[in-house]
Amino acid sequence: MKLEQLQTPALVADRAILNANMRAMMAMLEGKTLRLRPHYKSNKCAAIAHKQMELGAVGITCAKLEEAEDLIDAGVTDVLIANQVVDPLKIRRLAELAGMCRLTVCVDDGENAEALSKAACEAGTTIHVLVEFEIGMERCGVADPDLYVALARKVSTLQNLVYDGIQAYAGHVSHMASDEERRSYTDENAARLRSLIELLKHNGIEVHTLSGGSTGTSRIKAEQGLYTELQAGSYLFMDSTYRALGNLPFRNSLFLLTTVVSKRGALTILDAGVKSLGVDQNEPIFLTMDGEEIKVDHMAVNEEHCKLFSPDHDLSLGDHVLIVPGHCCSTVNLHDRLYLFENGEVVDRLAITARGKSR
């Protein structure tokens, strides 16, 4: 089946580039103390998670309990929920899941830790815990080192909980355009984390795991030698936002296949909008089926359509256009399946098993 024979819009990935990106990540980490724990939110596909594990990932990171359920149901044996779970029903379910695999969750509150301990005791399971340190995202986490130590100590004393270490995700650094700026911020954060680790050791608390990081800081963290786990996910697919950085050993493998459905003067309309294309970061990039970039004066995206104003290619009705999404993670979550292709031929179809699992 030819790629152009798919009904559009269709989410597609170049299998050769996808596999090359996986190998490039493992090559970057070879001989380093940093282990890959890739983030599931980027692909939401159990088949890809298993491939990552086969290539050497220590486990899989996910954002939500439902994603963890999907991974565990698919047979993944080591899962980190890099988030807080506080709803009583969700805590009960988390405790049950902890009896099916090695399950880790993040906390930044003592009462939440107590609730996790109680649920684990009732379920007869063990929950591993990373206490989250607020590293600059102004999101979740404990910002004060002394309060962090107190919470880590508390977790260490609670029944059926195991304190493994620190969650410190500096997502705000990931897309900084300058490599020097990313390195500077990462070095500053590393100094704070080293100080925190020393304070924990001084209080008799060992840190076995320091987990975080992203595609944009993957090389820096591998060279730094401080983190033990890398939560990169976008390296698989890349997108126009990461492409703009230009200094990563990964290439764009993910595209949205679209069709020209209308033309009017300098305006060309594609059959893909915000219901099939993530537009929450940089603008997408448009390519011909030969991979040549289509430059436009400007663009606009509606629910079902993408409007290209004055494209520099003479596109005709029925022509196909490949779109490099601005954000691969939010784009994947809009689709039920991912088609793999090689040399213009569809060679496989993968179910996006965690599509829409956001609870």
pLDDT surpassing 90 at residue 214: yes
Strands 298-301 and 306-309: antiparallel
Please tell me the distance from the alpha carbon of residue 220 to that of residue 234, in angstroms, as a whole number: 16
Residue pLDDT, tens place only, 283-332: 999 999 999 999 999 999 999 999 999 999 999 999 999 999 999 999 99
What DSSP assignment string belongs to 83-106?
A: EE---HHHHHHHHHHTTTSEEEEE
Between CA 66 and CA 174, with CA 107 as vertex, the angle to 5 degrees is 75
The average pLDDT across 138-152 equals: 96
Exposure class string for 241-264: b at 16+ Cβ within 10 A, else e? bbbebeebebbbbbbbbbbbeebe
pLDDT at 358: 95
pLDDT at 246: 76
pLDDT at 151: 98
**Nearest C-alpha neighbor of 264 from the set 302, 311, 330:** 311
Burial of 102 (0-12, 13-18, 19+ CB in 10 A): middle
Answer yes or no: are the C-beta atoms of 133 and 227 closer than 8 Å. Answer: no
Answer yes or no: are the C-beta atoms of 94 and 85 closer than 8 Å. Answer: yes
Strands 254-264 and 229-230: unpaired
- Hey, how many other C-beta atoms are within 10 angstroms of the C-beta on 159? 9
Please tell me the distance from the alpha carbon of residue 65 to that of residue 83, in angstroms, as a whole number: 9
Answer yes or no: are the C-beta atoms of 358 and 90 closer than 8 Å. Answer: no
pLDDT surpassing 90 at residue 256: yes
Q: Please compute Rg for the chain using Cα positions.
A: 22
Answer yes or no: are the C-beta atoms of 350 and 344 closer than 8 Å. Answer: no
Amino acid letter for position 206:
E
Answer yes or no: are the C-beta atoms of 353 and 46 closer than 8 Å. Answer: yes
Please tell me the distance from the alpha carbon of residue 66 to that of residue 357, in angstroms, as a whole number: 5
Write down the pTM of the prediction.
Answer: 0.95
Q: Could you tell me which residues are beta bridge partners of residue 301?
A: 306
Conformational region of residue 142, where left means phi above 0, alpha means psi within -120 to 50, and beta covers everything else: beta
Residue pLDDT, tens place only, 169-190: 988 888 888 888 888 989 999 9
Q: Could you tell me which residues are beta bridge partners of residue 254?
A: 13
Residue pLDDT, tens place only, 57-112: 999 999 999 999 999 999 999 999 999 999 999 999 999 999 999 999 999 999 99
Q: Give the whole-number percent of the chain exceeding pLDDT 70.
A: 100
pLDDT at 249: 94
